Amino acid sequence: MNEWDNRAAYYRASPTHAEGDDLDQVVAWCEPGPGVTALDVASGGGHVTRRLRELGCVVTSCDLAAGMQPDVVCQAEGLAFADTSFEVVVCRLAVHHFRDPAQAVREMARVSRRLVVIEDTLLLDERVQEAERLRDSTHVSHYSREELLRMLAEAGLRPLAEAELAKRHEMDDWLSATGCAGDTAATVRRLLAHVSSPDERSWTDTKIVLKAEKTERR
């Protein structure tokens, strides 16, 4: 059992992941409808999968952690599906965990027939990066808008739309997700002081949602 298996119950119940304007935007840009085939990459608590299924989509979820109970266990950098298997491929709040995000985006493009929708946290500064890594050893890096757009372009994807949305996190709940406590938690709080509320009970980051379509095969 890995770290993500241990966190599965938290992510399934977490309001931050289960709801929000960002989730609504991701779902809408998947262009859901009865019979639409979709792949939810790094599906985590399954919130995108759930919402799309409620709208009639035929959804396959995949995640590296078996404890998240995906339909298929596989890495984002090596998706276990044939080319053009799905009309839409979606990945929400996971790119910052990938060891090779550009390869993961190429894989999403490969298995999509039409659309790819990605949401992740925008790069702000090194203080936030350090706080994220201290809190969660699986955090690799956030990326700038330009870096994410470059990944899409290099994967043969053309951006159709983008949105940036603020997301507030309850500090205690966010720290508890990974068991971050004691001196480490205190350091994380100090590093996030510039993006925290005056009472330090919450902090805010910015999510970017990108909708892209496949270009002609090169």
What is residue 125's DSSP assignment?
A: -
SS3 87: strand
Per-residue pLDDT of the chain (218 residues; tens, 9 = 90+): 467 788 888 888 888 888 999 999 999 999 999 999 999 999 999 999 999 999 999 999 999 999 999 999 999 999 999 999 999 999 999 999 999 999 999 999 999 999 999 999 999 999 999 999 999 999 999 999 999 999 999 999 999 999 999 999 999 999 999 999 999 999 999 999 999 999 999 999 999 999 999 986 43
Instruction: Give me the pLDDT at residue 45, please.
Output: 93
C-alpha dist (Å) from residue 131 to 124, 159, 162, 187, 200:
12, 31, 27, 8, 15
- Pick from 214, 215, 208: nearest CA to 86: 214
Sheet bearing 86-92, strands edge to edge: 72-73, 58-63, 37-41, 86-92, 112-121, 202-214, 157-170
pTM of the predicted protein model? 0.95
152 contact partners, CB below 8 Å, separation of at least 6: 105, 116, 118, 158, 159, 210, 212
Question: Domain of 106: which CATH number?
Answer: 3.40.50.150
Instruction: Give me the pLDDT at residue 16, please.
Output: 85
Q: Which residue has the tokens 């508890």?
A: 176
Q: Is residue 42 one of the residues assigned to a domain?
A: yes
- The domain total for the chain is 1
Q: Is residue 83 one of the residues assigned to a domain?
A: yes
Q: Is residue 53 one of the residues assigned to a domain?
A: yes
The DSSP bridge partners found for residue 203 are 169, 196
Residue-number span of the structural domain to which 15 is assigned:
3-122+139-168+207-214
Instruction: Give me the pLDDT at residue 110, please.
Output: 98
C-alpha dist (Å) from residue 130 to 94, 126, 207:
17, 6, 18
Q: Is residue 118 one of the residues assigned to a domain?
A: yes
